[in-house]
Structure 1
């Protein structure tokens, strides 16, 4: 995937939709303190293991905040994921994200919870709920790629390459992705 990024600019945030910057003041042990934070939605993410390809199905997409800090990173490698912004169970949101981003139809009973954790605790403190599902080509219903103006590319990573992928610093990736690989090797495959 090649991304050509041009006319990249930053502006102050006003009337935000997904994140809300705030200044927090508080007193801790008798000392007044202040902190800057972002109020944001919780999220779901799912490690997809493709049993016929013996691969993980990841998504690649452009993330402006990553590019803002490192212009060499025109996309990131991530788990299929989405924000929790609707009145539905977390598993239903996971199911919808797998369909929208990756093009696979996964039944609810085939989606299992791994754990949940707080992401970027110094800034947003949002919670991510991590899941696992097995897919195969009989479940493929379309090409994926996201909805609306999302530009998501699917990326199959062979399981035997995952451990070295974790430590490849040239690839921008999320901590949840790396943690999920460790979980897989601890709980699903001993190697």
Structure 2
């Protein structure tokens, strides 16, 4: 008897080796077998499949996939003041992979956990920043690491009321969250992408969207690479740091 297969794992799941066995959308892919490697919390599978190449030859391949469910993220902005709200929290995988201290600046985000994306992002924004956000706008949905991770992140943008004082820290203590709430001028956040101070993919993508198409879209310098949202000298830097 194996937990996650014929007996429940610690999250009550069974039959975890059946997902992906019945895929038929691509005639050049034939699923041969799905093996459950781990279901400690999220699910690690090894899939064996036959793949037909462009020259017509078939090869047998194996890939491991990590399934943690889909997620949602939101860029919180105050267009009047020219500011955005981000979070700073410790990320062990980044720390292991050469990030100096593992403390990443990110947009609020989290897993759907059975909720619709919009409901999930309202929940995560409240938990991670203490803010009740305005109407979320779906910007895009993207696979963040499609070579190995199944997760698709639904990326939103939503206004927040910058006239109210921000909490210094937020997060769900029972889940081990210890999150600093950081408000930045949008132009400073863009510069932090260039310096590497912002290195989280979903955050980079949403900030770039905000400059190109979103609330901070500006007339652009016609020279390649020089377009930037206008500075707002009337807006003071307001950062709640660790």
TM-score above 0.5, yes or no: yes
Q: Does 1:20 align with 2:43?
A: yes
Q: Would you say the 8 A contact 1:51–1:136 is kept in 2?
A: no
Q: 1:181 aligns to what?
A: 207
TM-score relative to the length of structure 2: 0.65
Q: How many residues align?
A: 174
- Does the C-alpha gap of structure 1 residues 129 and 177 become closer, same or farther in structure 2, counting only changes over 3 Å? same
Q: Is the 8 A contact 1:58 1:78 kept in 2?
A: yes
Name structure 1 gaps, 5 residues minimum. Answer: 1-12
Cα distance per residue 1:135-162 (max 9 Å; x no partner):
1145668555111220111122211213
1:145 aligns with 2:170: yes
User: Using a 3 Å threshold, how does the CA distance of structure 1 residues 138 and 162 change in structure 2: closer, same or farther?
Assistant: closer
Q: Is the 8 A contact 2:73 2:109 kept in 1?
A: yes
Larger RCO (CA under 8 A, 6+ residues apart): 1
Indicate how the Cα distance of structure 1 residues 52 and 145 shifts in structure 2: closer, same or farther if over 3 A, else same. farther
RMSD between superposed Cα atoms in Å: 2.1
Show the 5 A alignment for 1:1-191.
Answer: 15-17=39-41, 19-29=42-52, 30-51=58-79, 53-70=81-98, 72-86=100-114, 88-107=115-134, 110-137=135-162, 144-147=169-172, 148=174, 149-169=176-196, 171=197, 173-187=199-213, 188=215, 189-190=217-218, 191=229
Query: Cα offset for 1:96?
Result: 1.0
- Is contact 1:105-1:140 (8 Å) kept? no
Cα distance in 1 between the residues matched to 2:166 and 2:123: 13
Query: Does the 8 Å contact 1:60/1:77 carry over to 2?
Result: yes
